Amino acid sequence: MRENLLTKTCEIKEKKKEKVQRRGNREEETEKRKQRRGNREEETEKRKQRKVDRERRQRRGNRDEETDKKRR
């Protein structure tokens, strides 16, 4: 009888440990996901900025060509 109770309590403790471990793993995964999402958003912002810069340079280049034509 006593041994049966001891094994039951050991099983319960092990289950609790496993549950806590899973919770920790889950939290780590969510942190990693948040980090990746942040990196992705950063990359899209950089891409948008590069696109804007490229368009500005192109417009500036077009303006330079127009002023050259006017000078001639």
pLDDT digits (tens, 9 = 90+) for 5-59: 788 899 999 999 999 999 889 999 999 999 999 999 999 999 999 999 999 988 8
At 19 the pLDDT is 92
At 71 the pLDDT is 65
**Distance, CA of 62 to CA of 69 (rounded, Å):** 11
The type of residue at 60 is R
**Distance, CA of 56 to CA of 63 (rounded, Å):** 10
At 2 the pLDDT is 72
At 3 the pLDDT is 80
Reported pTM: 0.47
At 39 the pLDDT is 93
